[in-house]
Structure 1
Amino acid sequence: FWVKIQHARPEGSKLRAGKGMNLPDSQLNVSSLTPTDISHLTFIAKHADAVQMSFVNSAHDVTLLDEALSRVKGDHLGIVLKIETRRGFENLPSMLLTAMRRPKVGVMIARGDLAVECGYERLAEVQEEILSVCEAAHVPVIWATQVLENLAQKGMPSRAEISDAVMAHRAECVMLNKGPHVIEALGVLDSILKRMEQHQTKKRALLRALRLAQNGR
């Protein structure tokens, strides 16, 4: 098929091999669980604690994974639903109900593909809804994609990155990407999250006494 580039950087962009393609306006009747995935499950069941399902789109996808894990004696494994498509976001409630038949379930907000699928201007709203649904279901959330990316890669964070790391406090887990300064990024993230523990739990403000008010007495 033909691909038409409608937007690129002024200096141009490269299409590299092995990259994915998002089709947000199309509903593809393709299973998220591939034959290669299934062939790996035997090893995973013996050596891992959990399995993450990428591009999960429906409760049927979750059922297929659950059945495949049962066949390889992987009923003890936790599963993480990686939400990275519009369809996956829209079907999250039904997917959670299916996944919660297992004892251990988590959700990853994969904000890279999710932004492409839903639109960058909607990403903030979408991630808030995922956090709310998972909090109601008592399902832990992994906050992922480009958290403190500049700091991990270049050693200096942007102001927006710091604000984003603050927002990550509402999740149970935050994922950092690798980089030459990732240890420093981990320390900064730890400091931010510890400070935020005094101000907020999940999406609820704790209304802690402000140091400004205390110092002004």
Structure 2
Amino acid sequence: NDTDIRVEVMLGGTLLPKKGVNLPDSELTMPSLTEKDIADIQFCIEQQIDWLALSFVRKVEDIKHLKQLLKEQESKIKVIAKIEMPEALRNLRDIVIESDGVMVARGDMGVELPIEQVPVLQKDIIRKCMHRAKPVIVATQMMESMIERTKPNRSEVSDVANAVLEGADAVMLSGETATGAYPQLVVETMSKIILEAEKTLYDYNREDTLTPQPHSPSFLSDAVCYSACKLAKDAHANALIGMTQSGYTGFMLSSFRPKCPLYVFSKEKSLINQLSLSWGVRAFYYGEEVSLDDIIFDQIDILKLRGFLHSGDVVVSTGSTPVKMHLPTNIIKITRVE
């Protein structure tokens, strides 16, 4: 009938309630958003969360549908596409472009696809996201053994470090902190692994491999961001400062993985937390709209006041002018802090 499925158990074990079902190599016709999902989305909107991740994305229309629901509610939530289905990989370029961020969801990916393909797919997804300036998260079983133990497996340490070195914006814990016995310890341990990887082998200043594309609609502003990162590197700048109203400049500057600290200012309060997902970004609220010089000096003063800058430091700033028109990034300024 239309409601029952007959299955054959090939390898037995304990089956707990409310478990999902994977159908590898199958073209599903069911919608990506169920009635319960839509109700949950409404709850998320009411709670004013920053990011919403959509599971089992198959095609770009899935992301567009979710964005439309959020737009109808005038929500500023940004959307993450969880990549775990073979169909999503076939449509990866369009999904990355339409999404605000991407998650490499390795748990279901390793069931839906041959497990030996997962490391290569992870690397490819990260690379594509960096080229499109989209934050990318690597998730699932990163420190699984620490659900019950106080130390991770050596393979897990390598897994986390490799995700960092490949260029992921974030690595995510799930069961380790949701149900694990040592949630604080696992976060501290993962943080140490990340910091060590970034301190030693990390490939900073990737502007040479992420050159702006002339066919891109945002080519001119991309070129300004690219040049700002290159200038910050060549001038041994102590800080790179960006201004953004949509978040794009922050995401773009981050995608070049500048070695100097990256600070992004925005008048959109919702962006302050959202930008923190991006690699290396420290975001600040700034709502003034006076002259561009005043804005840049204000931002430098804010960073001096908080101890991030000192007299004699070199700062590369990006912005747009005329200020009131909120144009894409179109200027670079280099300043020595007084």
The TM-score, its normalising length taken from structure 2, stands at 0.54
Whether 1:176 aligns to 2:173 is yes
In the alignment, does 2:31 pair up with 1:31?
yes
Unaligned runs of 5+ in 1: 100-104, 207-217
Equivalent residue of 1:201, what SS? Answer: coil
Alignment correspondent of 1:96: 96
**Per-residue deviation, 1:46:** 3.1
The correspondence for 1:128, drawn from 123, 128, 137, is 123
Is the 8 Å Cα contact of residues 45 and 73 (structure 1) preserved in structure 2? no
After superposition, what is the alpha-carbon deviation per residue over 1:108-141, rounded to whole angstroms, capped at 9, x for unaligned? 1110100111111111111111111111111111
Hey, what's the Cα distance between the residues in 2 that align with 1:153 and 1:165?
18
CA RMSD of aligned residues (A): 2.0
For residues 156 and 124 of structure 1, the distance between their equivalents in structure 2, rounded to whole angstroms, comes to 23
Cα displacement string for residues 158-210 of structure 1 (whole angstroms, at most 9, x for unaligned residues): 11111111112131111113211221111111111111113113797x9xxxx
> Which of the numbers 104, 111, 121 marks the counterpart of 2:106?
111
Seen in structure 2, the aligned counterparts of structure 1 residues 17 and 152 have a Cα distance that, compared at 3 Å, is closer
Secondary structure of the structure 1 residue equivalent to 2:148: helix
1:181 and 1:68 map into 2 onto residues whose CA distance is: 38
Residue-pair matches, total: 195
* Equivalent residue in structure 1 for 2:144, among 149, 171, 185: 149
Show the counterpart of 1:4.
8
Cα distance in 1, alignment partners of residues 205 and 94 from structure 2: 22
Q: Contact 1:140–1:172 at 8 Å: present in 2 too?
A: yes
Structure 2 Cα separation of the partners of residues 15 and 202 of structure 1:
46
Q: Distance in 2 between matches of 1:176 and 1:18?
A: 21
> CA deviation digits over 1:73-108, x for unaligned, max 9?
21x111111112111222121112223xxxxx1111
1:161 is aligned, of 145, 156, 168, to: 156
Partner AA of 1:196 in structure 2: A
Q: Which runs of at least 4 in structure 1 moved beyond 6 Å after TM superposition?
A: none
In 2, Cα distance between the equivalents of 1:38 and 1:93?
26
Please say which structure displays the higher CA radius of gyration: 2
Q: Which residue of 1 aligns with 2:193?
A: 192
Separation in structure 2 between the aligned mates of residue 190 and residue 98 of structure 1, nearest angstrom: 30
Query: 2:56 corresponds to which residue?
Result: 55
